[in-house]
Structure 1
């Protein structure tokens, strides 16, 4: 059976169908996997035709995919990713831009663009993505889905094309909170939630977005206050988000070049100019810049560890606004990306889990708010998402 690709979310080489094990907890469900996850016997394309042409079929299936198949879910296609996952837009010059089913004139977000499109458009029940700098959280915000970036290291990354090892995490998208937790039961094991403590509202993160975004999110903040109870208003970053963002970019760029620089130098692949530029900037990161960035990262980790207690729920906007229109260019695009990354980089720098809650709208388009917690508090967040959905 050929894939239904009316949304342009499946990659041309991704027409893969593997039935799940009968009788499992996810039997009867279909999922898709971002084209960074290995499937035995198939070449993982990583969003770039030259990568596809220069790599052999995988000899094993990524354990995250295998666990879902063992649990009974059927793999229903590989989905488009931005090239080597190095973008948050959802635009791929080789394979196209998957449709944002919630707002078709707007970008789906990347780099898990195909996965978010397939779920939002109802073609699968859930889909695997990855999140390095926001690649689950931003698409979930843009398309009105639940999405989780798991604690760094919580889910094994074997059989996964890397981007930046110390940031890369496995995540997934669903249309409802219960499904988000059902997938978590397979990938993370039995529920082990902490009771929620305080709702910690990062006021400086809300200051990073426009007044219209704050107004649209305020009713959701009130819902969270009612659900969690005690609340505490904090400045998440007393220093500078510019400094946190620079540290994120330097470490990510360096690690991305370490992962793929040799292949890029040898193959000279055809890449979108902005992707090629990011890799080239990573190549140029100096030892001094890297050391400074690592020091900023350590300070950020210490700040979060001092600020949050076990059970605390950190609340912040997921992104700087709704999905941008497809034709946004130039200065507007740069400003949007920088504002967005300032909101997504804290979790990457500190290894936090973060869940997008698709509970608001602005200008008729989805707008997400995020809950996060100390590393390892993934189940607390999934349980709270379910509680809010049931309210």
Structure 2
């Protein structure tokens, strides 16, 4: 579909004028997506009657910031009456359909937003590509021969394609950051909090974070003001550390545009910080795989063997390998985690943010998604995961229509730093 996106305010106006029409138009847009592609993006939607009622109820509170705005939930978040499948073939068989709503969904609806459906993901959120054996690979919204990125693939596709102005994701190892960068949209992941633990099926609980996508800096700023509610908003210019040199394989255009943007938002380079980061993150992809998989095994161990054949095999392997790590590997991984946390703490004692590329390249094809590519991608995203810091992803659009992105890591969820950065971008 790839229509011109309607922003948050445009949806508010449409829904206020005719809630029933807004519901019909939304479902019509979904029906217009070819069925094979739709299956890889949308897990489920409400009935026309249910959606119309939700728009009608929302329209009765026009003072709410997100009144009449449809949002999609990544299919890890619970909402009553809809099974949570994690885009697997069997989770709904062993986990009852939820009777309680996830904390994140409830926060959206308390601000007037309208639940409009659930989106697909990499199975059990254990992947960064958007590939799924059971429902099909989620294509890039503009380049269907390429991948959307994942694991929050369906949500990213829906926002970039103009289906909704905001959609939720989770990010454990990069699952908001990668699709935001590849799909040319803004992404926000917060530090682990109640949104990532209450009513959200886990991948690796201590690393899991909640967040969402928006198509524009303006919408992302409005969503942060509404949902996160920064404790104070200052006018001072931010200052940050520029670490783009830690990803030397960036294409020249990406590097040039990142450098220009970082100068605009107050980031400076530091050879000392660059070297310290490289020292702290040595072998980080392996170390992160060790600790992430151990936590994932804790989630899946009751059914991992009995249902082995129902998993996408690479996902099963990523979980099962946790049984084989040595004591030395676990200890080394924990030490790496401590080094990375110490590095970011030291940086953020003196700066407002740290900037790192989100990926090593724009979106790739499925055949290019090798284990080597995935390992390098994790080298870029895992430091942020180890840090548990909130991260704003800013898209970097290239001349050919593809995109890359920047991770902006900052100190705590209720900081006004992302608003200050987004204001400079506007």
Query: Normalising to structure 1: TM-score of the pair?
Result: 0.90
Match of 1:217 in 2: 255
Q: 1:266 to 1:142 in 2, by over 3 A?
A: same
Judge conservation of contact 2:146–2:363 (CA < 8 Å) in 1.
Answer: yes
Match of 2:240 in 1: 199
Matched, 1:309 2:349: yes
Q: 1:144 to 1:217 in 2, by over 3 A?
A: same
Q: Aligned Cα RMSD in Å?
A: 2.3
Match of 1:56 in 2: 96
Cα deviations by residue, 1:42-95 (Å, 9 ceiling, x for unpaired): 210111121122221101000110111121111111000111100111011111
Q: Distance in 1 between matches of 2:196 and 2:318?
A: 26
Q: Give 1:154 shift.
A: 7.2
Q: 1:47 to 1:126 in 2, by over 3 A?
A: same
Q: Distance in 1 between matches of 2:267 and 2:386?
A: 28
Bigger proportion of residues as helix? 2
Matched, 1:251 2:297: no
Matched, 1:120 2:157: no
Match of 2:87 in 1: 47
Matched, 1:382 2:419: yes
Where does 1:209-358 land on structure 2 (aligned, <5 Å)?
A: 209-210=249-250, 212=251, 214-228=252-266, 232-233=270-271, 234-235=273-274, 236-239=276-279, 241-268=281-308, 270-309=310-349, 311-328=351-368, 333-358=370-395
Larger mean Cα displacement after TM superposition, 9-18 or 219-228: 9-18
Where does 1:74-85 land on structure 2 (aligned, <5 Å)?
A: 74-85=114-125
Q: Distance in 2 between matches of 1:232 and 1:191?
A: 30
Judge conservation of contact 1:353–1:374 (CA < 8 Å) in 2.
Answer: yes
| Bigger-Rg structure (1/2) | 2
Aligned with residue 134 of structure 1, among 174, 182, 185: 174
Q: Distance in 2 between matches of 1:288 and 1:220?
A: 38
Match of 2:215 in 1: 175
Judge conservation of contact 1:198–1:232 (CA < 8 Å) in 2.
Answer: no
Unaligned runs of 5+ in 1: none
Give secondary structure in 2 for the equivalent of 1:66.
helix
Q: Distance in 2 between matches of 1:12 and 1:238?
A: 40
Match of 1:147 in 2: 187
Q: Give 1:295 shift.
A: 1.7
Q: Distance in 1 between matches of 2:387 and 2:138?
A: 31
Aligned with residue 360 of structure 1, among 397, 400, 410: 397
Larger mean Cα displacement after TM superposition, 115-124 or 13-22: 13-22
Q: 1:102 to 1:379 in 2, by over 3 A?
A: farther
Give secondary structure in 2 for the equivalent of 1:367.
strand
Give secondary structure in 2 for the equivalent of 1:217.
helix
Unaligned runs of 5+ in 2: 1-23
Tell me the number of residue pairs that the alignment of Structure 1 and Structure 2 aligns. Answer: 383
